Structure formats: C-alpha cells, structure tokens
Structure 1
Amino acid sequence: MKTKILVAAHKKFQMPTKEDYLPILVGAQKNYTQGIEYQRDDEGINISSKNPYYNELTAIYWAWKNLKDVDAIGLVHYRRLFFESKPYNLDNVLDIETVNTLLKKYSVLLPKQRNYYIETNYSHYIHAHHQEPLDKTREVIEEFFPKYLAAFDKVMKKRKAHMFNMFIMRKEAFNSYASFIFGVLEKVEKEIDISDYSVQEQRVFGYISELLMDVWLYTTQQNYKEISWGQIGPKQTVKKAIGFVNRKLGIGPKQTHF
C-alpha cells in the first residue's frame, strides 16, 4: 500500500523525517519564502488563494485533485501529529508500516475525540464564532445533501467530535470525504458575506469543516479507528481554559487561537 501523509504548514518548521510524510506549504503564494522546499498547495488544480478562509483545507483540496498514484492519504499539522507513544516528538510520529497495517482493517484513522463536557458542539461553535455560517451550513445540507442531515443534527447535539481536520484514509474514503466537504462549503461560501469578519473569523470554512468530518463519518458509516495524537511545543492550556470560560460567559473577544 502506498500512503502519503501531508504535513500542513504555513512556514518553515522542523518536519518528520520518516518515510512518506510530505510537508506541504499552505497559502503558498503568500507564505512562500526562500528556503521553504515543501510541496506547494498552489500547483496543479488548487484553491490556494482561499487559504485565509479555508485553513489547511487547501492542502486537502490539493491532494484530492493532484495526488493520484496513492492508495491512502492523510493530513496532520506541523505541530499536531499522530504518535506511536510519548514523548510527543518527531522521533515518535506514527510510522507508515503501522499506518498500512491499520488500514488493512480500517478505512479511516482519526484523532481521539475532543470532549467539550459542558457544551454541545453547536453551542461551543456559536460561543466561539459567528452563528450564521453554521446555521447556513445546515440549510445547505438539508437542501442539497439531505442524506447527511440526520447526522448533522446528531453531531450538533453531541459534546464530542473528531477535530483538527486530521486523518488518514484509504483513497476511496478520502475521495468521498473531500467530495462532501468541498461540495457543502462551496455552496455555503456563496450564501454568506464574511467581508466584515475579523481575520480570525474569516477562517470560517476551515472551522465548519471540522464538524463536517463526523457528519460524513456517521452518514457513510465508515469503519474507523481512533489513534493517539499530540502537539509539539507549548499548548497554552491556561489561556485556552480562560478563553473557553470567557466565551461561555460572553466576556471579551471570541479568541480561539493562542
């Protein structure tokens, strides 16, 4: 099995050296500087120019349209990766042999779910971001992708979700996933005006896509396995916790990235 795991980055950073990890520069037209020799997301068929609004999805789109001679495709981030074990460092990232063994049994590998405990996925989202795009997403799914609607409502009521747009999938599953999320987001993009959103909130399509992962997963009834993930470098845990409470109480700006 030939597998490629893309490592999305917007700048030069230390990368995994294990076989079949492919660093990809997102928003390459804007973010390229001399010395970054990663795969660029603005080559071939691409939506690289939408990176300020789609985040790492521009890497996923590039892989969907251009990465043909593979059996499985994955995406991780330059600081968030799948690991064999602790400590979470580049020497312990999940190796391709382990991935390919798991993919013989499972069609999808995902990070362990994030638990919001006191909030549903819907309430967590609207406390952190503008509500309209998420509500518009439901309308789009109801009209154009009705078989996914029950799963969308289920995901909105849950308190857990597979977040971060991290995954490894067999090619057939990946094609199904990409077709769904980009089909939905293309229509949502036409229905909302984000021109007065902050720079952070203009990343709306990337945020929404994180919740669409489970909508697709449950509707298509994928055989999946959760695997360990971790973050390289400081997590800003205290700031994130304070931000979470402040958003819940409506205090200050809706800061979600620290």
Structure 2
Amino acid sequence: MQRRKGGRSMQQPRIFFAVALHEKYALPTDALYTPIQAGAAIHPPLGLMRDDTGENISAKNGSYCELTVLYWMAHNVDADWYGLCHYRRYFSLRRTGCPQKRILTRAQLLPLLDTADIFLPKKRHYWLETNFTQYAHAHHEEDLWKARAALARLHPGQERVFDRVMARRSGHRFNLMLMRRDALQSYASWLFPLLDAAEIDTTGYSARDKRVHGFLAERLLDVWLAQQDYRVKELPVAHLERQHWGRKIAAFLLRKMGIKNDRTAR
C-alpha cells in the first residue's frame, strides 16, 4: 500500500505486531495485530500462526514465556517494525476508558512512528523497593546474580550498567514493545545468548517462578536500553483483565515480611 504526502508516493512501513497467546482468547480485530501461538511445540494447536516453525525456541516457552515469540520473529519475519504484546495487555493512547476500546490501532500508530525508534510501556514505579530488591522479594535473588555473572562473561564491564539499573526504583515491564528493525535485532542478539548463558536451574521453583527467563528479560531490557541511543517513547497500557491492586499491595507487604505470594509477583 502507498500513500501520498507532499505530492510524493511513500511506501507504508511493514509492521509485524505479534500477539503472543497460549490459549483461546478474544483478540483485537485491527489489522495491526498478528496472533501467534506461543509455545506451540509443547501445547495443543490453536489454529494460529505458530512459534515453532523455522529457527525457534518454542519448546522453552515454559520459562521464556512470550519471549519464544520474540525469538521467532527476530529469526523468521522480515519487517520494518517488530511489536510484541501479551494477549491480555496492549499499548494504548489513553489511561482511562474501556480497555478493549483503548487498544492501539494501526491508524493511531502510523503517525507516531516518526517520533521514536522504540515504544515501551510506561514505567512501573516501586517507590519503596529497587528493581533488585523487588525481584529478590518476589522471585529468587540468585536469578539476578546468575544473569549478572553471565553478562560479565559475555560483555565485560556491562555488569556495572546492570548494577545501576537494578538500583533504580522503576522499570519497563510486561515484555511489551515495538521496535524498529535494527533495534529489535540488536536487542534480540544481546538478550537471548545472555539468558542462555545464565544457566538457571528451575528445579524446585513454583509454577510461576519457572517463568524466570521472561521475568529476567523485563529487567534486562532496561540494562540493554541504558547502553543505546535510540529514541524511546512510552505509552499507556490497556489491561484487558482487572488489575487487583489490593492483592498486589497485600502481597508486597507479605514479601517485606519474607512471605511470598505466588499469584501476584512480577
């Protein structure tokens, strides 16, 4: 498709925005989105595009979560822009209103593409915790140390950036992103070898904590980003399911007392 601007013909950007899902769910009808079955190698088929074709890590979905779709996109899809979202969370331009009606559309996105190279969700602020202590209280602290050690081995000196990011009290979460091609390829080529090198053994982990590589990637994104010069724009998030803030606050207080609540930690 082409459009006219100033009398000249311009090619529309090729945007591949994947919606990662592992179960049947109502999906946006806007042409922007392409549903991809995450972990297709280990789950019953949903009749959708799958993340287990071509070069893939689909079988690792249990710990990599939606990252198996990110890996698949980076290695098998030719596009100008790559997006990734979870089937219950989407970018939006507004903070309020019906979540389903706030989901970002292609028409809304196109004018924004000239303003940034990377689009991420608004940061989550912890206020009373750092990124490090929040993860340590919610999951397994040793995961962070293993990721740091792997970073030091693969990219000597970057562990100091890791330390600075972990000392912050806010960060980008949800593995929700839209990146220009060069940015996505740079991020993926940095992230996946690092997660693999961390060699995290999930034996004895709860079902939620076994999603460790997905949780770590949420923190590592900001480590990578801190070393880049890309233009970043943050957008609100439309959560399609209710956010139980009462539970989250209660879980936070319990974690401060050394009691983990496996249902609400992120």
- Smaller-chain TM-score bracket: over 0.9
Aligned positions of 1:214-253 closer than 5 A: 214-253=222-261
> 1:198 Cα shift?
2.1
Q: TM-score, normalised by structure 1?
A: 0.92
1:149-207 per-position Cα deviation (integer Å, ceiling 9, x unaligned): 33211110000001111010000000001111102101012xx3222222222111111
1:38-74 per-position Cα deviation (integer Å, ceiling 9, x unaligned): 2111111111110011111001011011111x10001
Structure 2 residue 82 is the aligned partner of structure 1 residue 73: yes
Structure 2 residue 107 is the aligned partner of structure 1 residue 97: yes
Write the distance in 2 (CA, Å) between the matches of 1:233 and 1:165. 17
2:97 counterpart residue number = 87
Structure 2 residue 221 is the aligned partner of structure 1 residue 213: yes
Identical amino acids, percent of aligned pairs: 38
Aligned positions of 1:1-258 closer than 5 A: 1-33=13-45, 36-68=46-78, 70-85=79-94, 86-189=96-199, 192-256=200-264
1:51–1:104: structure 2 CA closer, same or farther, 3 Å change rule? same
Contiguous gaps of at least 5 residues in structure 1: none
Asked if structure 2 preserves the Cα contact closer than 8 Å seen for 1:109 and 1:226, the reply is yes
Write the distance in 1 (CA, Å) between the matches of 2:211 and 2:115. 35
Aligned residue for 2:17, secondary structure, equals strand
> 1:76 Cα shift?
1.0
Asked if structure 2 preserves the Cα contact closer than 8 Å seen for 1:27 and 1:50, the reply is yes
Amino acid at match of 1:238: G
Give the aligned length.
Answer: 253
Asked if structure 2 preserves the Cα contact closer than 8 Å seen for 1:147 and 1:219, the reply is no
Write the distance in 2 (CA, Å) between the matches of 1:107 and 1:252. 38
Amino acid at match of 1:158: R
Contiguous gaps of at least 5 residues in structure 2: 1-12
Aligned residue for 1:219, secondary structure, equals coil
More helix by share: 1
Larger radius of gyration, structure 1 or 2?
2
> 1:252 Cα shift?
4.8
Asked if structure 2 preserves the Cα contact closer than 8 Å seen for 1:19 and 1:96, the reply is yes
Q: TM-score, normalised by structure 2?
A: 0.90
* Alpha-carbon RMSD: 1.7
